[in-house]
Amino acid sequence: MMEQVPPGRILPVDVDEVTPIELGPGVHVRMLPGMPGIRTWVIDLAPGAEWPGLDVHETYGEAYFVVSGELIEDDRTHGPGTYVAFGPRTSHRPRTETGVRVFGFNYDVPA
């Protein structure tokens, strides 16, 4: 896991220099510095890739912002500039036909 940004500090990061972790075929995650209670990441899905399993949010929320490409959730396609938020007790399994990059935020504090 990437470090947290210390109080009083600014921490610039070149996202493409962060080593990606492969979660499944064509699914790569880069963990970024976060804040207490928030984990921040970048996820890249190659064209035709799908999240390796159902992503369940039992207690905490999650959100993502589409930077490039298109992400498909059920029957909805989200393009660049779209922000999607998930509350507790939700689940999803995103996929893409075009390839996509999203910035994601996992909230580790109860809603």
Domain boundaries, the chain: 15-107
**pLDDT 10s digits, 28-43:** 999 998 888 888 999 9
What are the phi and psi torsion angles at 27 (to 5°)? -120, 115
The predicted pLDDT at position 109 comes to: 66
Asked if the 15-107 domain carries CATH number 2.60.120.10, the reply is yes
Tokens describing residue 39: 């984990």
* pLDDT greater than 80 at residue 111: no
